[in-house]
Amino acid sequence: MTAGQLNRRVSVELVTISDDQAGQRIDNFLATKLKGLPKSRLYRLLRKGEVRVNKGRIGPAYRLQAGDVVRVPPVRLSARTGGNSAEPSASALEFLAGRVVFEDKQLLVLDKPSGMAVHGGSGLSYGVIEALRASRPDCHYLELVHRLDRETSGCLLIAKRRSYLRSLHSLLRAGAMEKQYMTLVRGDWQLGKILLEDQLSTHQRRGGERHVEVGAEGKASASRFRPLQSFSSATLMEVSLLTGRTHQIRVQAEAAGHPVAGDDKYGDPVFNRQMARFGLKRMFLHAHSLAFEDPGSGEWRAFSAPLPEDLRDVMDRLEGGA
């Protein structure tokens, strides 16, 4: 073992799948169970039959059922120390713990900070979900209910039971969850309160980066935009999402002629530089509230996250004209 690595031995483990764990693919289950194990090695374990369910071989697409007994083989995990560690630091875990808005046995609501991805990948060793799993080793199930862009801050739902995740996904598909954002857009918004409906198409660009465009072949997307406050060169908006497409608010705002401030992908570079002089250092997009009828109890549940200090400071400077 080199000085830059930490190796730890994991012994054979037999895991009985609970109701909340049922329904997920075996490869996803193993990725959570064996944190830090490269995916290529994980699939090799499955091909060689070292992972077994009810003493039999299974493929990576096998979906676990309640009562299944999974044999998790002994593997050697390595994690590099330093900035590229696959495990979040203690300070990162503490910081995230301070941003929990609500938590019970079924749900965790987080005020996600800007700059932190919801999950690892694309060069990121970890994201919100990996950090939460690391901070709650006794919690058998944690999954994202929905996603926020890396630069977007605000309310993020994490399910703590698979049955609850399925119920919330049903609400999202039915458009029965209220999701409201606050954003700053270019110029003086003259459209009033308006429902924007567009067809959005997602394309893969060089390097695997996604780019979304308005096009006749796209998926139906709807957002309700409402102006809240006007400034000399920008307007603060409240946006209610009626559908949940990739980059929906950003693309629809740009198509309406009012791109989001600080948006490097769909925004206006000249406007972004202007807003930078008012102290804006990231995209001005914040998920400020979520509300829905609880699928189990029928209780109305509403959560909110205040506009972050960095965005409030930009607002103050815009109001002062400085």
Of 20, 149, 263, 268, which one is the catalytic site residue? Answer: 149
What lies within 8 Å, CB to CB, of 317 at 6+ separation is 278, 279
d(CA 270, CA 272): 5
Query: Please, is 320 exposed, middle or buried when counting C-beta atoms within 10 Å of its C-beta (0-12, 13-18, 19+)?
Result: exposed
d(CA 227, CA 285): 14
Residue 264 is a catalytic residue? no
Q: Minimal CA–CA distance to 87: which of 46, 132, 50, 24?
A: 132
- Main-chain phi, psi angles of 107, to 5 degrees: -145, 145
What lies within 8 Å, CB to CB, of 132 at 6+ separation is 96, 108, 110, 142, 158
d(CA 288, CA 101): 12
Contact 288, 306 (CB under 8 A): yes
Concatenated DSSP letters for 198-256?
Answer: EEEEEEE-GGG-EEEEE-TTSEEEEEEEEEEEE-SSEEEEEEEESS--TTHHHHHHHHT
For residue 291, what is the enclosing H or E element? Answer: strand 285-293
- For the annotated catalytic residues, the residue numbers are 149
